[in-house]
Structure 1
Amino acid sequence: MLGTLKKVDLRSIWKNEEYDFSRWLAKTENLQLLSDEIGIQLIPKDTEAAVGRYSVDLLAIEDGTDKIAVIENQLEITDHDHLGKLITYGAGLNATYLIWIVAEIRDEHLNAVEWINENTDGDLNFFLIKLELWQIDDSKPSPKFTTYSKPNDFAKNIKQSNSGEITGAKAKQLEFWMAFQEYINENKIMLKTQKPLPQHWTNISIGTSNAHCAFSLNTQSNEIVCELYIDNNKELFSWLYERKEEIEKELGFNLDWRELPEKKASRIIVKTKGTLENTSDYEKYFQWLIDNGIKFKKVFGKVIKNFG
């Protein structure tokens, strides 16, 4: 026997956007659902953060960066008021990501968001997300985020490249990360990367805000790197180093442990030889990064949960 799938009224679960839904979304496991949908790993920072006389529903940052995401929640059909507030909040906080979560979408607001995405560069990215609740028979309702408008990263990157803003090594780096993202998507690999950018690194969440996994390209030494990047937490590095033997045993290889006492960050590294000049080797590099990234996420993610 099969169950009956039915839609649940959002207000039956979250009666108030501020006190109910925003606080629910701010929990790490719930914000992860949104992160999975938009492909950007978000870390909750604050609910009802002040912007002048107004308050942002939810303020988040992109994991591994200082890029700000402003999230506006509207558990009803879109309107001018919420759109205007979201743009105002984004301007006041110099946000990189504007995320509008709604119950229903008017055509004029969908057109407005698409127009913004088509006419801005990579410094501003607007997501219009529809939220639904579904259940089977009497099961617990399950949230479903669906993206109706998002930034066209490929078009923006090509636009920047054609205007001369991306050249040389930066262009090669962007080409590599775009191909890497395509490889992950085509092979349905469960690894969430940040959007491709013209830089030598990209970040992977491991399920904690204490550290993240980073992939990088060293064109000077011709190396491909997978590392755990710990930002400004020497105590965590020392705690992990005490467990060095068991961590390396579970990973199956030795690591290069770099505390870097003169710097804020610490790094735990594994690397292999590789160059961006020969595109025929890209798939080999992709698989190496994926294999090690999945191991880092599994092992370090599990161990760090016991820290503190």
Structure 2
Amino acid sequence: MAMQTERRDMVIREEHIEMVSPRLKWNNEALDFTPWLAKNLDLLDEELGLELELVQTEKTVGPFYLDILAKAGENKAVVAIENQLGETDFSHLGQLLTYATECDARIAIWVAPEFTYEHTHALHKLNEWASGEIAFYGVKVEVYRRVNTSCLEPKFRRVVSPGFWNKEITLPSGAMPPLQRKFHDFFQQLQNGLSDAHLFHRPVIRFDYTGRLFRSRKDDRIGYAVSLEGGNDAWVTFHIETGDKIQTKEIFDKLSAYSKDIEESIEVGPDPEWFWNRANGKLFSSISIRRDGSIDDPSEKLEDTMQWMRGNLIQFRDFFDSHLGKFLEE
């Protein structure tokens, strides 16, 4: 196992390697990351040395589901593993504590791309208070890509464990995580171009931090959103959210009856990918166009994506602000 760890570290240290968003490798936390991690506990174990053995994924815990239930060592100690694709948050910390308690776990492992100071400090203190009854681990997952290739190499780094805290890879208190900073800078530049021309109100952050929503100046029931989601999806969206689910669906249904006319009336470029999402059960509905695009793209491609978003935001706004009333009256 030591030789495997040395080999993997050598791969990571090769020249022409760049760190990228974990979402380039795993698009969805529950559908992609959890199953992959369950099948590759040996890679996690290279960093922790716990002799992990998978028991099951999506373990029922009351009305909830633990991501991964495992066992460790010769005594088969129960292990609760909670994983996420964003930086640590209070929701996942609470889930980890709940699942560990209900499963009577002796080891609790939290896997995430970034660990905030506050959450890492909490794990550190829990280890002190537990006095060996349960061990808490925080493990950072990183993804590296060989430049100019699609080869994605994951790596795990221990952040906290009993008697150990790596503060060098812990985010300082109040600091914006690097990935979140990349999104912030991208959308700030896009927003500046729109605000300078007084085209939209100041946006609100949506979809965690991977998107922005601009409310309509004419009708506060609707808005216009842009986002970079998943591994390679850039979106421009007409967003309907009235605060009343029935009214929201009625507006969407009236618009969808004219979907062909609407798509032909908005000039969004060649071969657009349209998505009409009624979102049954949700408070919103949406009409979107999509193209390939990632926050980890080279700067020139990112600039092209930004221009595509900016231009189509204006196209969507000009059309729906002017024609929404007519469609709703018919």
Q: Normalized against structure 2, the TM-score is what?
A: 0.44
